[in-house]
């Protein structure tokens, strides 16, 4: 992985460590999960934030949502090793109760504070296309592009041309793979959208070869 990207991740690790030392108890700041994959890929996938398994093992999308994601990619002929996978927020946001710890959506402030890293990550990785998983990374991309936000319900399954720091980006919003775990009726929609994404990637590959 490129040195500059590793330096970026090291700086984020230090920022989160400082938050942990400040007794911030709303995230797993000591177990951040960073992006993985080749530089200059055809596709970059952006999720919301790591969950428990991701924080435990230090890799994005290795838990239950990751298994669903892998099956969706397989079904669309997209090889995970060829794409860059990351999250909008690099630490696991949590709710702490007396007897349990659970995942939660990152707050608007947490997302805002994560945007500079995501922007630099995009500029260094330079993907040809981006697929966002769920509302949080979709919002992140529109915020970075200075564009009015769109909801996942309206935006999914279509290409949205955005420009971030003069870099033109084709953004393809998808529902989050975890959403089908509690809303099974979304599964056929998500399957169709990922297949559509796979066919766009195939077409651009054929056109480029
Ligand atoms: N959900 C996400 O958004 N990202 C992960 O890495 C895992 C689950």
Spatial distance between the Cα atoms of 187 and 196, rounded to a whole number of angstroms: 14
Atom of ligand 1 nearest to the CA of 85: 6
Q: Is 21 exposed, middle or buried (0-12, 13-18, 19+ CB in 10 A)?
A: exposed
Show the DSSP H helices in 22-162 as ranges.
Answer: 52-57, 64-75, 108-125, 135-145, 152-155
pLDDT for 27 equals 87
State the pTM of this model. Answer: 0.95
Residue 36, token pair as written in the block: 């993985």
Could you tell me which of 93, 97, 186 has the C-alpha nearest to residue 134? 186
Domain definitions of the chain by residue range? 3-208
Could you tell me which of 83, 70, 61, 107 has the C-alpha nearest to residue 172? 83
**Distance (Å) from CA 48 to ligand 1 centroid:** 6
pLDDT for 15 equals 93
Q: Are 171 and 132 in contact (CB under 8 A)?
A: yes
Atom of ligand 1 nearest to the CA of 134: 3
pLDDT for 206 equals 74
Alpha-carbon distances, residue 33 vs 48, 61, 146 (angstroms):
11, 10, 26
Residue 142, token pair as written in the block: 């529109």
pLDDT for 205 equals 74
Domain 3-208, second-level architecture: 3-Layer(aba) Sandwich (3.40)
Coil, strand, or helix at residue 103?
strand
Average pLDDT of adjacent 10-residue blocks, the chain of 209 residues: 93 93 85 97 98 97 96 97 98 92 94 97 97 97 95 96 95 96 94 97 77
**Distance (Å) from CA 93 to ligand 1 centroid:** 11
Which residues form ligand 1's pocket by a CB distance below 6 Å?
Answer: 47-51, 54, 60-61, 63, 65-66, 87, 133, 178
Spatial distance between the Cα atoms of 113 and 107, rounded to a whole number of angstroms: 10
pLDDT for 129 equals 97
């Amino acid at each position: 992985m490129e040195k500059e990207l590793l330096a970026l991740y090291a700086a984020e690790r230090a920022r989160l460590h400082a938050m942990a030392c400040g007794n911030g108890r709303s995230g797993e700041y000591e177990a951040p999960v960073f992006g993985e994959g080749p530089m200059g890929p055809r596709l970059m996938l952006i999720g919301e934030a790591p969950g428990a398994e991701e924080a435990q093992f230090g890799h994005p999308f290795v838990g239950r949502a990751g298994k669903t994601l892998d099956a969706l990619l397989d079904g669309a002929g997209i090889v995970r090793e060829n794409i860059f996978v990351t999250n909008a927020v690099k630490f696991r946001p949590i709710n702490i109760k007396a007897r349990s710890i659970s995942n939660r959506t990152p707050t608007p402030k947490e997302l805002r504070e994560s945007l500079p890293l995501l922007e630099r990550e995009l500029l260094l990785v330079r993907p040809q296309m981006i697929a966002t998983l769920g509302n949080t990374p979709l919002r992140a991309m529109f915020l970075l592009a200075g564009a009015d936000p769109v909801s996942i319900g309206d935006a999914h399954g279509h290409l949205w041309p955005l420009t971030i720091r003069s870099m033109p980006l084709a953004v393809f919003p998808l529902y989050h793979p975890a959403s089908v775990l509690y809303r099974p009726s979304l599964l056929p929609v998500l399957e169709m959208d990922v297949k559509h994404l796979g066919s766009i990637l195939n077409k651009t590959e054929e056109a480029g070869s």
